[in-house]
Amino acid sequence: MKGKEWYQADEVAQEYDSKRFSKGGRLIDRREKEAVLAALGPVEDKNVLEIACGTGRFTVMLAQEGANVVGLDISRAMMVQGREKARRAGVADRIEFLRGDAARLPFPDDHFDAVFAMRFFHLADTPAKFLAEMARVSKQQVFFDTFNDGSLRVAYNWLLPMGSRLYSEGDVRRLLGDAGLDLADAKHDFVIPFGFYRKVPNGVAQPFRSLDLAVGDSPVGDDLASVSYWNARVGRRAVPRGDSGERRRVRRSHGRI
């Protein structure tokens, strides 16, 4: 199976968290949650939309932080897992799960304080349309991640059952500009791709993560990183395509776990 068909399968939803975020995958889960919280800042009483909320990893986390969250996903099976997770965490009253299409969001302009998507753009068949919709319904902020085309992920990308779109920095800058978004910050991480961490025990993964961070802090770390986290602002003048500003490299920093 490929793409949307793979993602919506019941068995994929049931095993999604256990396959990806157990063993060394705990490091990935921890880093991704850190990235979302750091980007969105204090979220108490904020209205937040998560695109492709999946099993509710981030949706539930933000509700626990006091946000009012809408989680939108195309997979009913994934949202079943998310609703159960919210119920167990005692935050079901702060979350609304909706099945919908990210290319046609069922919300008015400027409806949310922040809109974000994790683990989404590598599956996006029309990324420009998705990002434009995210920008349209957000008052202030859009946050998302991408997998990078100059990283070790290229070596195994074709093996993935759902396929995967990889991006360059130039690709992301063009998407942001076309959506009327201004890039505020970018962080880059995981020289060693996710696939490795998911296959090894947590105790084995920890030393590799330390090595990963050391390489990431080196002059070549940004270029080798397999994941980028993009934090953009709404309502500011975008850099015109072809402007010299588009070619300036974003100040980068590495996250810690």
168: phi > 0 → left, psi -120 to 50 → alpha, else beta; which?
beta
**Residues of the chain below pLDDT 50:** 1-2, 237-257
- Distance (Å, whole) CA 46 – CA 213: 32
Q: How far is CA 204 from CA 75, 142, 196, 198, in A?
A: 33, 35, 11, 11
What local confidence, expressed as pLDDT, does residue 12 receive?
Answer: 53
pLDDT digits (tens, 9 = 90+) for 225-236: 999 999 999 975
pLDDT digits (tens, 9 = 90+) for 171-227: 999 999 999 999 999 999 999 988 889 889 989 999 999 999 999 999 999 999 999
What local confidence, expressed as pLDDT, does residue 162 receive?
Answer: 56
What local confidence, expressed as pLDDT, does residue 72 receive?
Answer: 97
Torsion over CA: 87, 145, 16, 191 (sign): negative
What local confidence, expressed as pLDDT, does residue 128 receive?
Answer: 96
Give the bridge partners for 74, in sequence order: none
The structure's pTM equals 0.83
Eight-class DSSP state of 235: S
- Distance (Å, whole) CA 42 – CA 78: 27
What local confidence, expressed as pLDDT, does residue 155 receive?
Answer: 64
- Tokens matching residue 203: 């105790």
Torsion over CA: 16, 17, 23, 29 (sign): positive
Provide the residue type at 124 as one letter. Answer: A
Tell me which residue of 240, 234, 36, 238 sits closest to 136, measured CA to CA: 234
